[in-house]
């Protein structure tokens, strides 16, 4: 009995809240909406008031039949709530948005047709008088684009030549070191056999280092050869400047210059490997292209401003908000409030249905 009393009291309180929410939705629908959306809101409000009254009566009388009837009425109101919220969102955000777009398009067509013939012709004549300048600018832009492409191709060839010259320099020095041993008449077989083991190891190490440089450069220059990286280039340069092997080459001006130009070599190799020279802007042609584009944009905006001024002189504002349908303006104002109470109604109906079901299960058959 105590449990029945608690569930019955809770059901009565929620039923009263349900009825109050129904009355609120009823008046909101009547105040802010029209036609089908208004009818759905009024029906939802009435259904919620009726469900609330049945729920309150069922809780007071402890009647299982009234509790079951309240559950059915609540489920019907719940379905109407979802339908009502969907209609509100669609009308405010879709239907009224399309109506506003239609009015703006219609207003624009009407105001363009209302332009005085002489003013329209003056604007068109002014625009046509600029075509010759625009064509000249287009020709200048094409010439500068060709110049920019030539600068980019020139940068590509400069990178390839620079890399090739540095690798050829390494190969030349390595070949000189090898020839200094293999073609030196003073280093015949008899002399070599008479050298100490340390001297023989030194000559062998020098030949191996020179051969490594020559072979790697040769692989790079083959038709399907393996491209050389900056790290490999630094390694080959380090071989030729190793004081323990090529003490005579360490201070050579070419190798010293190559060491100091490693950042330039790295940049050239990176550009060549990425092969995106069209993204680089060498020379001054790109500055003139950008200036031409700015001039064309400014002239187009100036012409558009003149047309807008002419339209404004005819009372041709493009704001169609004042002409928007009255129901769209009202629905926009009541949209957030109605959505809030719609969600509250859903929550109340779920709670009300739950309490009625719990009460109905606790009522005994004898009590009926």
| Contact partners, residue 14, CB within 8 Å, separation at least 6 | 55, 348, 351, 352, 355
- Residues 259, 232 contacting (CB under 8 angstroms): no
Angle of the 131-182 helix axis to the 253-260 helix axis, nearest 10: 140
For residue 318, what pLDDT is reported? 46
Instruction: Name the more confident of 8 and 154.
Output: 154
Q: Chain-wide mean pLDDT for the chain?
A: 70
The pLDDT > 90 percentage for the chain reads 0
Task: Give the separation between CA 183 and CA 345, rounded to whole angstroms.
Answer: 102
Please state the rounded mean pLDDT for residues 133-148. 60
With residue 147 as reference, give the H or E element that holds it: helix 131-182
Is residue 334 predicted with pLDDT exceeding 70? no
For residue 317, what pLDDT is reported? 46
Which of 145, 166, 151 has the alpha carbon at shortest distance from 277? 151
DSSP characters over 218-266: HHHHSTTPPPPPHHHHHHHHHHHT-TTT-TTTTT-HHHHHHHHTHHHHH
- Residues 244, 201 contacting (CB under 8 angstroms): no
Domain boundaries defined on the chain: 2-114+326-362, 131-285
Which of 34, 115, 104, 62 has the alpha carbon at shortest distance from 313? 115
The half-sphere exposure of 171 on its side-chain side, counting CA atoms within 13 A, is 14
pLDDT digits (tens, 9 = 90+) for 217-246: 887 777 554 577 888 888 888 877 775 566
Task: Give the separation between CA 114 and CA 308, rounded to whole angstroms.
Answer: 13
Maximum mean pLDDT: which of 86-95, 168-177, 197-206, 336-345: 168-177
For residue 366, what pLDDT is reported? 38
Is residue 295 predicted with pLDDT exceeding 70? yes
| Contact partners, residue 103, CB within 8 Å, separation at least 6 | 320, 323, 324
Token pair of 367 as six digits: 């009590």
Token pair of 145 as six digits: 């684009």
Query: Can you say whether the dihedral through the CA atoms of 204, 209, 212, 213 is positive or negative?
Result: negative
pTM of the model: 0.38
Please state the rounded mean pLDDT for residues 146-162. 73
Task: Give the separation between CA 207 and CA 205, rounded to whole angstroms.
Answer: 5
Please state the rounded mean pLDDT for residues 349-356. 75
Please state the rounded mean pLDDT for residues 40-46. 77
pLDDT digits (tens, 9 = 90+) for 79-138: 888 777 777 777 666 666 676 777 777 776 766 666 555 565 566 656 665 665 666 666
- Residues 111, 311 contacting (CB under 8 angstroms): yes
Please state the rounded mean pLDDT for residues 42-48. 79
Task: Give the separation between CA 72 and CA 54, rounded to whole angstroms.
Answer: 10
């Amino acid at each position: 009995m105590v449990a029945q009393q608690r569930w019955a009291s809770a059901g009565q309180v929620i039923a009263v809240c349900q009825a109050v929410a129904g009355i609120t939705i009823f008046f909101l629908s009547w105040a802010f909406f029209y036609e089908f959306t208004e009818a759905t809101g009024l029906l939802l409000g009435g259904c919620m008031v009726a469900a609330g009254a049945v729920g309150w009566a069922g809780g007071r009388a402890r009647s299982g039949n009234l509790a079951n009837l309240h559950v059915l009425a609540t489920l019907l109101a719940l379905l109407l709530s979802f339908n009502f919220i969907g209609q509100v969102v669609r009308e405010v955000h879709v239907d009224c948005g399309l109506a506003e777009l239609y009015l703006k398009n219609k207003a624009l067509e009407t105001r363009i047709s209302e332009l005085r013939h002489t003013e329209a012709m003056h604007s068109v004549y002014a625009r046509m008088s600029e075509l010759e300048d625009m064509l000249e600018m287009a020709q200048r832009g094409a010439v500068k684009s060709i110049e920019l492409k030539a600068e980019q191709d020139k940068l590509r060839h400069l990178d390839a030549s620079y890399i090739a010259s540095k690798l050829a320099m390494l190969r030349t020095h390595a070949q000189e070191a090898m020839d200094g041993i293999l073609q030196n008449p003073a280093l015949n077989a008899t002399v070599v056999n008479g050298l100490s083991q340390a001297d023989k190891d030194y000559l062998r190490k020098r030949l191996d280092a020179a051969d490594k440089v020559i072979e790697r450069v040769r692989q790079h220059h083959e038709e399907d050869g393996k491209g050389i990286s900056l790290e490999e280039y630094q390694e080959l340069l380090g071989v030729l400047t190793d004081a323990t092997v090529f003490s005579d080459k360490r201070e050579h001006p070419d190798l010293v210059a190559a060491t100091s130009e490693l950042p330039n070599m790295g940049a050239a190799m990176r550009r060549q490997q990425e092969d995106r020279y069209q993204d680089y802007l060498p020379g001054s042609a790109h500055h003139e292209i950008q200036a031409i584009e700015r001039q064309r944009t400014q002239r187009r905006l100036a012409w558009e401003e003149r047309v807008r001024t002419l339209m404004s002189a005819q009372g041709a504002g493009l704001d169609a908000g004042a002409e928007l349908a009255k129901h769209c303006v009202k629905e926009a104002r009541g949209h957030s409030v109605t959505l809030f109470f719609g969600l509250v109604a859903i929550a109340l109906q779920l709670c009300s249905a739950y309490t009625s079901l719990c009460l109905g299960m606790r009522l005994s058959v004898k009590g009926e």
